[in-house]
Structure 1
Amino acid sequence: MTLTPIRTAVVGYGLSGSVFHAPFIAANPAYSLEVIATSDAGRQAKAQERHPGARIVNGPEDVLALAGELDLVVLGTPPATHHPLAKAALEAGLDVVVDKPFAVTSTQGQELIGLAARLGRVLTVYQNRRWDGDALTVKKLLDAGTLGEVMRCEASMERWAPEISKAWKAGATADDGGGLLFDLGTHLLDLAVQMFGPAEVIHAEILARRPQEKADDDVFLVLKHASGVISHVAMNVNSQLHASRFRVLGSKGGFVKFGIDPQEPFIVSGGRPTDGAYGVDDPHHYGTLEIDGVRSTVPTERGAYQEFYRILAEKIADGGAASALPLPVDPAGPVEVLKLIEQARTLA
């Protein structure tokens, strides 16, 4: 394995680039954060302050012009740009991380997978919620067989956001990758498929309740998995009283968990992935396990978004696309999520 740092560029420095990507790249010595691209003057100043060793440029075209000095590009840009920018980066000889949603159609996603394979480049998708503490806790219970045969899983991500805070989201239709189904739905559907296997959508409610919403902001889907599990997934930004994050019912017991994962707010508040308190859940938000009428508290597994970049670094250092090591996220999974979204839209 090579010990040369992976020369990395982050394109986009909104929430995605500034919270979910740059801090984790900067904290991992396997990487060198060389370039950050954003055209917003305020974001440029923040990027320079937080990452003084990085070169700040205006846009993706500037990053592509530096392709010969880079190894990896991370796309934290609006969804409609993912396909063309990932395609251009792969063709420029770079490995690529695409934030979710992978693309705005499953066809686009499959095209990128084929292109990466032909060019021998690493391509992966940032489905970071696989490393949420609550998702890791559910996975631990499932792996241990604690709940028995699972019959139903309910998963939700709800917020109260009566106004649309980002300009691109305010103007984005579903065709542009706008709306909650592409935003939070890609997380919930990915987790459902990861936990319970392939599925089909058998019921869909896709609504736009905010007057200014051009796509969707209140979504409820029912999935039927080949394993027999039924998943209910809900995402809503019109909720002042939030549902549980997970409720899983099995033949031996049930588990319920409330509260949001602490990793994003921790980084937003100025914390770092290397801090001792990073990823640690508030005990008040621990989940509840009930078996035969007896309830017990289940401590939340520590959140671990940094695992994505650790696994990716090992893959690249071991030979990249030629390595037998796994990707942090095989992009075939996010393509299946896009197909579920397409199914849902035909039913709604």
Structure 2
Amino acid sequence: MSNERGVLLIGYGLAGRVFHAPLINSTPGLALRAVVTNDPERRAQAAADLPGIRLHATAEEAWTQLEDIDLVVIASANRTHVPLALAAAHHGLHMVIDKPLAATAAQAHIVIDAAAAADVQVHPFQNRRWDSDFLTLRALVAEGSLGRIHRFESRIERLRTLPKGNWRESADPEDFGGVLLDFGAHLVDQALAL
């Protein structure tokens, strides 16, 4: 019997393909066993990137094959995070949810309460907490090298590789999108972690 924890990855866009799949595959004790993406081209990419992996077009399909799954990583479009998290809790799966966990604090509490009721863990994924510049700043603040901090400013510079008008930039509340939720979550998390 394997000591590895089986992982189901939902979403194989930028976050799933570039961040989550490589992190899962490089973490001892985790085994990426299945990927969900409704995009046929992304399923083909996942098949090429991850030979032998189970591929599903829908989460509903994946929920029927959980025998070797302990954890779900939700890296799909923001608007899907809450319903997928509630389904994962219903199936007794621990969860890592790419930020934002939810669009509102009330929705986040619904997810947290569902996880608690199912006795599973839920963790938001905040990858920018591990950036080397941030870790250096955090160490300097902790050791007092910078003296008393009176003001903190932060921003994220980025190369724009996504076309305008995609869901990440949508201000529609249904999309949980826009630059504030996409990058603001990182800035707030870093400020709180300092």
Bin of the TM-score, shorter chain as denominator length:
over 0.9
Q: What are the residue-to-residue correspondences of 1:276-315 with 2, within 5 Å?
A: none
Runs of 4 or more, structure 1, over 6 Å off, are: none
TM-score under structure 1 length normalisation: 0.53
State the distance in 2 between where 1:68 and 1:111 align.
26
Contact 2:169–2:179 (CA<8 Å) still a contact in 1? no
CA positional deviation for 1:60: 1.3
Structure 2, gaps ≥5 residues long: none
Q: What are the residue-to-residue correspondences of 1:164-313 with 2, within 5 Å?
A: 164-165=163-164, 167-169=166-168, 173-195=172-194
Query: Is the counterpart of residue 50 in structure 1 residue 52 in structure 2?
Result: no
Query: Is the counterpart of residue 35 in structure 1 residue 34 in structure 2?
Result: yes
CA positional deviation for 1:165: 4.8
State the distance in 2 between where 1:163 and 1:10 align.
22
Q: What are the residue-to-residue correspondences of 1:89-168 with 2, within 5 Å?
A: 89-159=88-158, 161=160, 164-165=163-164, 167-168=166-167
Which structure: larger Rg?
A: 1
Deviations 1:42-77 (A, max 9, x none): 211221111113111112112212233311110001
CA positional deviation for 1:174: 3.3
| Bigger strand fraction | 1
Q: What are the residue-to-residue correspondences of 1:324-339 with 2, within 5 Å?
A: none
Letter matched to residue 53 of structure 1: G
CA positional deviation for 1:149: 0.7
CA positional deviation for 1:169: 3.5
Deviations 1:128-161 (A, max 9, x none): 1110111101011011100011011110013464
Deviates most, 63-72 or 103-112: 63-72
State the distance in 2 between where 1:135 and 1:46 align.
32
**Paired residue total:** 194
CA positional deviation for 1:122: 1.1
What SS does structure 2 have at the residue aligned with 1:116? helix
TM-score under structure 2 length normalisation: 0.92
Query: Is the counterpart of residue 16 in structure 1 residue 15 in structure 2?
Result: yes
Deviations 1:288-332 (A, max 9, x none): xxxxxxxxxxxxxxxxxxxxxxxxxxxxxxxxxxxxxxxxxxxxx
| Bigger helix fraction | 2
What SS does structure 2 have at the residue aligned with 1:74? strand
State the distance in 2 between where 1:175 and 1:113 align.
20
Larger relative CO (CA 8 A, sep 6+): 1 or 2? 1
State the distance in 2 between where 1:90 and 1:163 align.
32
Contact 1:33–1:53 (CA<8 Å) still a contact in 2? no
**What is the percent sequence identity of the aligned residues?**
38
Deviations 1:17-57 (A, max 9, x none): 00110001111231111001112222112211111131111
Q: Which residue of 2 aligns with 1:86?
A: 85
Letter matched to residue 64 of structure 2: A
Contact 1:13–1:37 (CA<8 Å) still a contact in 2? yes
CA positional deviation for 1:171: 5.2
